Amino acid sequence: MKMLHAARQQRGIAALTALLIVTLATILAVELVWKLNLDLRRTEAVLTRDLAQQQALGVESLVIDLLRSDLGRQGNPVDSLEDWWAGDLPPRAIEGGMVEGSIVDLQGRFNLNKLLDANGQREDIAYQQLQRLLEILELDPGLADAVVDWIDPDDFAEITGAEDDTYTSKNPPYKTANFWFTSTTELMAVEGFDQESYEKLAPHLSALPPNSPTGSYVNVNTASPEVIEALDAGLSASIVESLLADRPFNDTTGFSGQVSPAVLALLDVTTEYFGLTVVVSIGSTRLTMYSLLRRDSQNVVPLLRSYDLPVPVKPVVDET
């Protein structure tokens, strides 16, 4: 009887041991399948993002070719909102998704980097234009001081500006850039700006390379009425409305007598800098690429690119 009981105990232990082994094996198998599934999904996400990036770069190459073909324009080389590039690019279906985008004339906007001259000093004409633009948009003109302080090399605050002592007291603390704007989104870090004020101002702003002479020019064929009105204190909304009724302009002579000679010298009817936005959607992946394109008399090259956020991440060194 005792032997029978012992045998039953041994069989019970063996059954429990077998059950434990099966349970452990099942747990390990589920863990391996789960990790394999995660690895596959990560790989798929990386490959899809790479594919989306290549699609975006393909659109950029196409736009560059089209802008390059426009270099040989005969007659009067005028850029206006009637040109092929103005506005949204036609959406294009791709395998598993869609590509769409838009092109804007960045010289139809106020260039934040012209607020300083070559010596790093405040450029009064541009400063006053920014003040007027802020006022036209029903924002505080004093914000112009904080914008100047953000990029100027000194530590002396403008009248209503802010330097490092203001920013280092924040949580978390940070310092002024003391460097030219690489993106208009930097304004969100400038004292006095919030989401609402930035969204009001952003459609009228650009951040073009400060070492480019043409970066200070405003294309009056593509500039918004607000940017035009801010050009000179003598311009009113009614005068601007009358002027814009004659767009596109073949030259800037229509502004003679309406603005000061110094402002007139910085007006143009052509464009060198374009902003390209490309949105690629493939499955659950959505990638947005922003490109700053420069078109001179010889070629069209991308100067900066960024992905997902409108902040340039690195210069494009290949200008072939």
Distance, CA of 71 to CA of 66 (rounded, Å):
9
Are 92 and 100 within 8 A, CB to CB? yes
Query: Per residue in 63-117, pLDDT tens?
Result: 999 888 877 665 557 899 988 888 888 899 988 889 999 999 999 999 999 999 8
| pLDDT tens-digit series, residues 226-236 | 999 999 999 99
Q: Do 255 and 220 form a contact (C-beta atoms < 8 A)?
A: yes
Tokens, residue 287: 């990638």
Which ranges of the chain have pLDDT less than 70? 1-12, 14, 36, 39-40, 72-76, 309-320
pTM, two decimals, is 0.81
User: In 97-187, where does DSSP find H-type helix?
Assistant: 124-136, 143-151, 164-167
Angle, CA of 73, 261 and 239, to the nearest 5°: 80
Q: Which pLDDT belongs to residue 298?
A: 81
Q: What is the pLDDT of residue 107?
A: 95
Query: What is the Cα Rg of the chain in Å?
Result: 29
Domains of the chain: 110-266 (1.10.40.60)
Between CA 200 and CA 183 the distance in angstroms is: 16
Distance CA 302, CA 316 (A): 7
- What region does 135 belong to: left with phi over 0, alpha with psi -120 to 50, or beta? alpha
